Amino acid sequence: MITCANPAAQFQSYHEEIEAAVLRVLRGSRYILGEEVEELEREFAEYIGTCSAVGVANGTDALEIAIRALDIEPGDEVITVSHTAVATVAAIEAAGATPVLVDVDPVYYTINPVQLSEVITKKTKAVIAVHIYGQSVDLKLVSEFCNEHNLYLIEDVSQAHGGKWTGKRLGSVGDIACFSCYPTKNLGAIGDAGIITTKDPKLSDKIRMLREYGWKQRYISEVKGRNSRLDEVQAAILRVKLRYLDIDNAKRRKIAEFYSDNIINKYVKIPVIRNDIEPVFHLYVIRCKCRDELIEDLGAKGIQAGIHYPVPIHLQRAYKGRIRTALDMSVTETLASEVISLPMYPELSNTDINQVVGAINEYSQ
Ligand SMILES: *Cc1c(COP(=O)(O)O)cnc(C)c1O
């Protein structure tokens, strides 16, 4: 079976270094917020090009803490897309704010900047730009809108670690950026982990307090905080993987290029990449009107495909009818029934990707 993602294969690629890193932690004396986390934070900030990075427990917490750090409160609204991981929207509510959802554009599947002015109100405080599938949002239009209306720009980079927009690393453009390091992500831990980056040292101090009970000094809470600490084992593993992130992303781009050059089937639409960006193909997502049939066909040929995502958030039971959206959500709604994520991870072999292309090209109705 060729799977959609394969974090175990990545562990195998770097297992000697990862095992050594984990042993170093086990034999050390700090298991939470020690040297490994500090070093990871320093190395990641340098990699992204921000003054600071703060390790937290997972990507959802990263978003929630980012929103809280910006003093966004109950009653305030945060605009984002419905075409994203449910975590993006869940984090807005976890922070006590109100999510407002817009559609994505029909070509790149990232936030539709035109709808921002449709949904903005006096209560709007921030926009969360989600770099979906490893493709960058049109950050020019979105940051112009945010500047013009005095809104914070939060980047959700959970699917685009290492990607670039006009030469800048994603996560270095907005006021704050949030990364999930869930095992299947481009930079994945072997467990849960998340990172927040910012260029503002004051915000960074606040984020550090919020992740540990609001402490500035041990046992003394300055602000209402919580526990979202990153542990040393995950940080040590992430430090190993960070060293290979650019190499692994280049492998993902090569696989994507092979798919795009060789998939030829009139029922299938391949992804379109924005100019001026360096994508990192967290996922390689094609579209097909008979999606479920094609997935079944691939499954029968030993290829496991994924669906990101099958139901738009504004139509899911937990959210339906109580979340304000833009009037036209048709792109998101169409994507939910047409998208297919093909196997995509750096360790895929030439035989694997040839098999995937062959299976798709053979498909007919
Ligand atoms: C994975 C993901 C998250 C959530 O991260 P967790 O670490 O699972 O909490 C948030 N946003 C996007 C776009 C994601 O893909």
Give bridge partners of residue 180 from the DSSP assignment: 194
Please give the pLDDT value at position 322.
97
User: Which of 182, 228, 238, when mutated, tests ligand 1's pocket best, judged by the most ligand atoms within 8 Å of its CB?
Assistant: 182
User: Which atom of ligand 1 is found nearest the CA of 61?
Assistant: 9
Q: Where do the DSSP E strands lie in 18-58? A: 52-56
Per DSSP (E only), the strands in the chain are 52-56, 77-81, 98-102, 124-130, 152-156, 164-165, 168-169, 176-180, 194-198, 215-217, 220-221, 268-269, 277-278, 284-288, 324-325, 339-342
pLDDT computed for residue 333 by the predictor: 98
- Distance, CA of 332 to CA of 99 (rounded, Å): 16
Evaluate: CB of 188 within 6 angstroms of ligand 1.
Answer: no
Question: If you count them, how many residues does the chain have?
Answer: 365
Q: What is the mean pLDDT of the chain?
A: 97
Query: Is residue 199 very low, low, confident or very high in pLDDT (cuts 50, 70, 90)?
Result: very high
- Taking the centre of ligand 1 as the mean of its atom positions, its distance from the CA of residue 359, in whole angstroms, is 30
Q: Is residue 250 scored above 90 in pLDDT?
A: yes
Ligand 1 pocket check for 156: Cβ under 6 Å = yes
Q: Where does the pLDDT of residue 257 fall: very low under 50, low under 70, confident under 90, or very high at 90 and above?
A: very high
Residue 283, classed as helix, strand or coil, is: coil
Q: Exposure pattern of 213-227 as b/e (b: 16+ CB <10 Å)?
A: bebeeeeeeeeebbe
CB of 249 shorter than 6 A to ligand 1: no
Residue 45 predicted with pLDDT over 90: yes
Rg of the chain over Cα atoms, rounded to whole angstroms, equals 20
pTM of the model: 0.98
Peptide bond into 309 cis (omega under 30): yes
Model pLDDT, residue 135: 96
Nearest residue by C-alpha to atom 6 in ligand 1: 59
pLDDT tens digit sequence for 128-165: 999 999 999 999 999 999 999 999 999 999 999 999 99
Mean pLDDT of the 76-103 span:
98
Q: What percent of the chain has pLDDT over 90?
A: 100
pLDDT computed for residue 248 by the predictor: 98
* Cβ–ligand 1 contact at 80 (below 6 Å): no
Q: Give the whole-number percent of the chain exceeding pLDDT 70.
A: 100
Cβ of 84 closer than 6 Å to ligand 1, yes or no, is: yes
**What integer pLDDT is reported at residue 131 of this predicted model?**
98
What's the rounded mean pLDDT across residues 337-352?
Answer: 98
Q: What is the pLDDT of residues 280-315, one digit of tens each?
A: 999 999 999 999 999 999 999 999 999 999 999 999
Is 176 exposed, middle or buried (CB count within 10 Å of its CB: 0-12, 13-18, 19+)? buried
Q: How confident is the model at residue 226 (pLDDT cuts 50, 70, 90)?
A: very high
Give the pLDDT confidence score for residue 365 in this predicted structure: 82
